[in-house]
Chain A
Amino acid sequence: MEGEHRAGSIYSGWSVEVFDTSKSKLSNFLDRIGVQAFSGSEAFEIEVDIIGLLRRGKAAQLAFVECKVGPISLKDVGQILGYSRVALPVLSAIISPGGISASLDLLLNTYNRVDILEYGSGKRIKIGTWDASRRQVDPASVLPPGELG
């Protein structure tokens, strides 16, 4: 799986597992797999499509990917941003074969409002176009540029 391969190469030394969680609340999911490493996780009313769980000793980290079918809108970004501000994943991305909506493109590229992607300290949501034929993110499409490179 692309996500597992990618997380494994960036976080070598960590155990990396990636799950399809589109039908689960994160709080229930963490409870089910017996992970209690996240403060306040019983209040994680979070549903994202793919979750990466990275473990090294007692340390655990999360990664989120939301997959959209149509163009990614500001509303989609807001949803994953709220989730990311709460759970502070090491990586949070939203991807779609449809790329980003015209309004979001204008906001991020013309007006350079990449500040609206920030969550936590120095962390930013990554937005990208999914290349269905190559089964990976199109690196040239990624915003902020280079952040999924």
Chain B
Amino acid sequence: MKIESQALREDVKRWLTSRLRYLYAGWDVQVYETHRHKLSRFLEKIGLLEAFPAAEAFDIQVDVTAVLRRGNEARLAFVVCKGGPITLKDVGIMQEYSNVAMPLLSAVLSPSGMSPSLNTLLNAYNRVEVLEYGNGRRLKIGTWDVKRKQVDLPSVVPPGELS
């Protein structure tokens, strides 16, 4: 089932909003489509540049960005939505963005799931350490279920991390 990029981002935005509001009750959660914006400019525009160390150097472009706020605290969450299968290149780029900005949640999703090579690497060779960023955090990879407008939970790597 094909889906336009814009529609995919809209659906993912809705899913992420609902998921984060459930997981982070007590936080103000706002989710934005940011595929056309550098994160540094986006944070400046919404008045949050000062909330993240080195944010002026965030040369980061992701499709969907969530901003979570509670009092003086602020956190980020990132999702990249791919049209084709997710590759190691996609993972490396998202991981580096996450190493820099340390989001609470960072995920790469695609209706096509993972490429055969990435699947072999993560599932046959169990190289899930390649998903690590920051202190004990891991990038999540999953197949987007276009019909149900949510992540297909059994597809998620590392398993259970978007449950």
Please list the residues of chain A having a beta carbon within 8 angstroms of any beta carbon in chain B: 27, 39-40, 42-47, 73-75, 77-83, 85-86, 101, 103-104, 106-107, 110-111, 113, 115-116
Asked whether B117 lies within 8 Å of A45 as measured between CB atoms, the reply is yes
In chain B, residues 66-82, which have Cβ atoms closer than 8 Å to a Cβ of chain A? none
Asked whether A86 lies within 8 Å of B88 as measured between CB atoms, the reply is yes
Asked whether A74 lies within 8 Å of B87 as measured between CB atoms, the reply is no
Q: A45-B87, A82-B88 are in contact. Are A40 and B93 (CB under 8 A)?
A: no
Give me the 5 closest cross-chain CB pairs, A-B, nearest first. Answer: A82-B92, A78-B96, A45-B117, A103-B59, A78-B93
Q: A45-B117, A116-B96 are in contact. Are A82 and B130 (CB under 8 A)?
A: yes
Chain A residues whose CB sits within 8 angstroms of the CB of B58 once the complex forms: 103
Q: A74-B97, A77-B96, A107-B54 are in contact. Are A101 and B59 (CB under 8 A)?
A: yes
Number of A-B contacts (CB under 8 A): 96
Asked whether B96 lies within 8 Å of A81 as measured between CB atoms, the reply is yes
Chain A residues whose CB sits within 8 angstroms of the CB of B92 once the complex forms: 78-83, 85
Q: What would be 13 A-B contacts, judged by CB atoms less than 8 Å apart? A: A43-B118, A45-B87, A45-B118, A73-B59, A75-B59, A78-B93, A78-B97, A79-B89, A82-B91, A103-B40, A104-B57, A113-B57, A115-B99
Asked whether A86 lies within 8 Å of B99 as measured between CB atoms, the reply is no
Asked whether B89 lies within 8 Å of A107 as measured between CB atoms, the reply is no
* Of the residues B61, B89, B124, B125, contact of A82 by C-beta under 8 Å: B89
Q: A40-B127, A104-B57 are in contact. Are A45 and B95 (CB under 8 A)?
A: no
Asked whether A44 lies within 8 Å of B117 as measured between CB atoms, the reply is yes
Asked whether B127 lies within 8 Å of A79 as measured between CB atoms, the reply is no
A40-B120, A75-B59, A81-B96 given. 13 additional CB < 8 A pairs?
A39-B125, A45-B89, A45-B115, A74-B59, A74-B60, A75-B93, A77-B96, A78-B95, A78-B96, A82-B91, A85-B130, A86-B88, A103-B40
Chain A residues whose CB sits within 8 angstroms of the CB of B40 once the complex forms: 103
Asked whether A116 lies within 8 Å of B59 as measured between CB atoms, the reply is no
Q: What is the number of residues of chain B that contact chain A, defined by CB distance less than 8 Å?
A: 31
Complex CA distance for A39 and B124, rounded to whole angstroms: 12
Asked whether B88 lies within 8 Å of A46 as measured between CB atoms, the reply is yes
Complex CA distance for A47 and B130, rounded to whole angstroms: 17
Q: B53 in the interface, Cβ–Cβ < 8 Å?
A: yes
Q: A86-B127, A103-B58, A107-B57 are in contact. Are A43 and B117 (CB under 8 A)?
A: yes
Q: B44 in the interface, Cβ–Cβ < 8 Å?
A: no
Chain A residues whose CB sits within 8 angstroms of the CB of B88 once the complex forms: 45-46, 82-83, 86
Complex CA distance for A44 and B130, rounded to whole angstroms: 13
The residue in A42, A43, A81, A103 that gathers the most chain B C-beta atoms within 10 A of its C-beta is: A43
Give B94's nearest chain A residue, CB to CB. A78
Complex CA distance for A32 and B58, rounded to whole angstroms: 40
